[in-house]
Amino acid sequence: MIEQHEDLLEQLEALRSRALTELAAIHSSNELDEWDTRYLGRNRGELKNISAVMPKLTKDERKIVGQKINDVKKDLEHQLAEKRETLKQNELMQALEQERIDVTLPGRATPVGHMHPLSRVMLEATQIFARMGFNIVQGLEVETDYHNFQALNIPADHPARDMQDTFWVSPGQILLRTHTSPMQVRVMKQTQPPVRVVVPGKVYRNEAVDATHEAMFHQIEGLLIDEYCTMADLKGSLERFAQELFGEKRRARFRGSYFPFTEPSAEMDIDCPMCDGKGCRVCKYSGWVEILGSGMVHPKLLREVGYDPTKYRGFAFGVGVERLAMLKYDIGEIRLFSGNDLRFLRQF
């Protein structure tokens, strides 16, 4: 028995010295946790394993060995706590070193965006009409066949439908609006004269895309209804609009045209802002460029929305916003607007 308890004391000393040598070589909290479990762990720690022999010892031996176990345990726990504190300090110093902020470094520039050229022209154009007393309203991009065509005097078999190839949502019933004119119908059905509105927004046509035609583009619709209103009001308002947008010098001319929902109908040209009407590639050497379609609101449409055509009359127009922007900024390719090429967009 004597031998056994001395043997145990030796084992405990050996364990202490092995544990302390290993402890000295530890450099991270993870390793330290492993060390803690290995030597001091309550389930399978080495100290615990040695203590398992205790019941086999005599009372006196238990006292000596028990004291030794406590002594080694306290020593290891003490060294562990110290090591933990040292590691914590080291890790903190390391983190401070690595995460140090160099206040002398130049700051990161925050890129500042700006308005898309189309939005700019759309805003500028609607504000010109707003100053003339028009209200700005928003319409729906998904429309019914009734508002986009039928109410505007374009029945199902009307050839004018071919001019605006349609993206159908449900054929014959729901569509992506091909122009902003359906808002004429909605506004008039909702309000009583006098009416003065402009409607900016996206429109869609299922057509072959080229340098001047997109499948999605923007229009600004205008509508004025009152008891007294003539073609002279239409011409005066639209010429004033062109002068505010393109400069005081601009002249307008009106050419007879056809839209089923206006009578008479006219397209408006302005003398080319690029060459002052002298002739250039933009105006195809004619000196004039077309900017909008317009006309006096058809009595059929007035009746359709419940207005008395013997009492009220009005004018309407539809402007292509891309066309305006191309003329204003001398852009020869419509697809640049939706191409999202920053080299193009940054020029504005």
Residues 146, 150, 154, 155, CA torsion sign: positive
Cβ-contact 222, 180 below 8 angstroms: no
Smallest CA-to-CA distance from 322 within 314, 313, 331 is with 331
Which residue from 213, 235, 240, 328 is in contact with ligand FA5, where contact means CB under 6 A? 213
Which residue from 214, 269, 271, 304 is in contact with ligand FA5, where contact means CB under 6 A? 214
Determine the Cα–Cα distance for residues 255 and 257; give it in Å rounded to an integer: 6
In the complex with ligand FA5, the residue whose CB is nearer, 68 or 200, is: 200
Instruction: Please check if 263 is assigned to a binding site.
Output: yes
Minimum distance of ligand FA5 from residue 171's CB (angstroms): 21
How many residues make contact with ligand FA5 (CB under 6 A)? 23
Torsion of CA 244, 246, 247, 253, to 10 degrees: -90
Residue position matching structure tokens 């991270």: 28
Minimum distance of ligand FA5 from residue 152's CB (angstroms): 8
In the complex with ligand FA5, the residue whose CB is nearer, 193 or 318, is: 318
Give yes or no for residue 234 binding ligand FA5 (CB under 6 A): no
Minimum distance of ligand FA5 from residue 261's CB (angstroms): 6
Give yes or no for residue 117 binding ligand FA5 (CB under 6 A): no
Site residues (CB under 6 A) for ligand FA5, limited to 151-210 = 179, 181, 205, 207
Give yes or no for residue 139 binding ligand FA5 (CB under 6 A): no
In the complex with ligand FA5, the residue whose CB is nearer, 16 or 193, is: 193
Minimum distance of ligand FA5 from residue 292's CB (angstroms): 6
In the complex with ligand FA5, the residue whose CB is nearer, 19 or 327, is: 327
Q: One symbol per residue from 293 to 322: x for binding ligand FA5 (CB under 6 A), - otherwise; what is it?
A: xxx--------------------xxx-x-x
Give yes or no for residue 149 binding ligand FA5 (CB under 6 A): no
Give yes or no for residue 262 binding ligand FA5 (CB under 6 A): yes
Minimum distance of ligand FA5 from residue 180's CB (angstroms): 7
Which residue from 134, 149, 259, 312 is in contact with ligand FA5, where contact means CB under 6 A? 259
Give yes or no for residue 5 binding ligand FA5 (CB under 6 A): no
Q: In the bound complex, which residue of the shown chain has the CB atom lying closest to ligand FA5?
A: 320
Site residues (CB under 6 A) for ligand FA5, limited to 47-66 = none
Q: Using CB under 6 A as the criterion, which residues of the chain lie in contact with ligand FA5 when the complex forms?
A: 179, 181, 205, 207, 213-214, 217, 219, 221, 259, 262, 290, 292-295, 316-318, 320, 322-323, 334
Q: Binding site for Mg(2+): what residues are annotated?
A: 263
